[in-house]
Amino acid sequence: MQIVSLSKDISLKRPIEMGNAEQLQTVKSVLADVHNRGDVAIAEYSEKWDGVKLQDFRVSIEEINHAKANFDPDLQKDLEEAAHNIRVFHEKQKRSSYEVDVENDSFIGQRVSPLDAVGLYVPGGSAAYPSSVLMNVIPAQVAGVERIVIVSPPNNQGALPNAVLVAASILGVKEIYKIGGAQAIAALAYGTESIKAVDKITGPGNVFVALAKREVYGVVAIDMIAGPSEIAIIADETAYADEVAADLLSQAEHDPMACPILLTTSDFFAHEVAHEVEKQLTKLPREKIARASIENFGKIYVAETLEDIVEAVNKLAPEHLEIMTKNSKEVAQQIRHAGAIFIGRYSSEPIGDYFAGTNHVLPTNSTARFSSPLSVDDFIKKTSIIYYTEKTWQQHAPKIARLARMEGLEGHARAVESRGWTKEMD
């Protein structure tokens, strides 16, 4: 990894994969086609891009039962325990409706209600991501969403991974479709003959999925447009170089455009970590992907002071931040912007990815400055409630009418006055 000095005007090269004009045009074409031709279009795209002819997109109960019968029982227990941890954490995020009493038996308030239907996109094909199922479904369930739909691209045999189906089964989700790509996003947004539309789409995907989510926003809600994974690690000489290197590579293996960086005050430690990264790279199964990430976007920054590092990290607002310093908790208190903060030697980033209970769907590309991890809040909506009695109306109608006329909205003023106040004045 390249070792450079940290300057106060640090500006990392951030990969933002939003697609090119050709990809965007492809996505727009697919969305329009599915909107117009529904299931027929989806079947054609599944054959074209996934290499499978599907008569029925929906996963059957038999397929789910087969997946459960052919899944490692110990892994199932691990998934069940992870699901429990995630649910416990997200239960704390639940919001309540409320009312505020005002004078004369009037009240104002807010009603919190779940979305009716949400769609979760789970990446697939040659890979299996049951953790995506847990992280997206559980907060929706805690919020009270009644209809939860999973879509995921099948392999060339027309099947979804056992792990994905088992994770869905653990959570009781039965509406699962074997479709992926922009066509799956179109189906969720517009609906087809066999798939009813949803109100919000969450979950990660490739550039075509990201572009499709962006295009359908407004027809439905979406969680975020996530970029490639990022990790920033703050470490001093008390940390272990091999462990820091392993954590950097845990994100580098995600994507050639992943962004792994280390910030340290020790030049000696920086070189130790660089050596360890190269050593471990050669033994990593996904070496090609991780090496591209390390070479294109990986950096080790050496700073004069820890204060300089904290300032730089708050500017970068990384998706994942690990802190392995002498006083890790104290340093963490100074961080204002990060998607998730992992404190201390034993809080390696994958713990949050799979098991601790916090959500691993996190803001990327510095958007942690103003956005948050996926949560129960993403699956609810809030409605304002206003109830004025006649007495309260009489007390405040003149004020409201004056405010309306101040803004030049005579109709607003007359709407208020049309009740009993002006009639009694006549």
Give every CB contact of residue 326 below 8 A, 6+ residues apart in sequence. Answer: 236, 238
Strand-pair category, 299-302 with 107-114: unpaired
Catalytic residue among 90, 320, 349, 360: 320
Q: How far is 280 from 115, CA to CA, in rounded Å?
A: 45
Facing residues of 120 across strands? 150, 202
Which DSSP string do the residues of 59-90 spell out, in sequence order?
PPHHHHHHHHHTS-HHHHHHHHHHHHHHHHHH
Taking alpha carbons only, the member of 163, 171, 168 closest to residue 128 is 163
Q: How far is 202 from 378, CA to CA, in rounded Å?
A: 9
Any idea of the CA torsion for 411, 416, 420, 423, to the nearest 10 degrees?
Answer: -30
Give every CB contact of residue 239 below 8 A, 6+ residues apart in sequence. Answer: 269, 324, 325, 345
- Please confirm, yes or no, whether 35 is among the known catalytic residues: no
Q: How many CB atoms are located within 10 Å of the residue 257 CB?
A: 18
First to last CA, the chain: 83
Torsion sign over Cα 141, 83, 124, 166: negative
- Looking up tokens 């490639």 gives 228
For residue 372, CA distances in Å to 200, 272, 320, 360, 378 come to 17, 34, 12, 11, 10
Q: How many CB atoms are located within 10 Å of the residue 206 CB?
A: 17
Q: How far is 107 from 375, CA to CA, in rounded Å?
A: 29
Amino acid at position 365, single letter:
N
Facing residues of 114 across strands? 380
Q: How many CB atoms are located within 10 Å of the residue 237 CB?
A: 13
- Please confirm, yes or no, whether 410 is among the known catalytic residues: no
Give every CB contact of residue 333 below 8 A, 6+ residues apart in sequence. Answer: none
Catalytic residue among 215, 230, 253, 319: 319
φ, ψ for residue 280, nearest 5 deg: -75, -30
Could you give the residue numbers annotated as active site? 319-320
